[in-house]
Amino acid sequence: MLKKKKTEVYASGEHISISDDKARRIIDQIRGRSYEETLMILELMSYRACYPILKLVYSAASNAQCILGSDEANLVISKAEVNKGTTRKKFQTRARGRSSAIKKAACHITIVVKDISLDEYEDMYPVK
Predicted confidence (pLDDT) per residue in 70-127, tens digit: 888 999 999 999 999 999 999 999 999 999 999 999 999 999 999 988 766 555 555 5
Question: What is the model's pLDDT at position 104?
Answer: 95
Question: What is the model's pLDDT at position 4?
Answer: 62
Question: What is the model's pLDDT at position 117?
Answer: 83
9-116: CATH topology is: Ribosomal Protein L22; Chain A (3.90.470)
What SS3 class is residue 74? helix
Question: What is the model's pLDDT at position 7?
Answer: 84
The string of DSSP letters for 69-115 reads ---GGGEEEEEEEEEE---EEEEEE-GGG-EEEEEE--EEEEEEEEE
Predicted confidence (pLDDT) per residue in 25-49, tens digit: 999 999 999 999 999 999 999 999 9
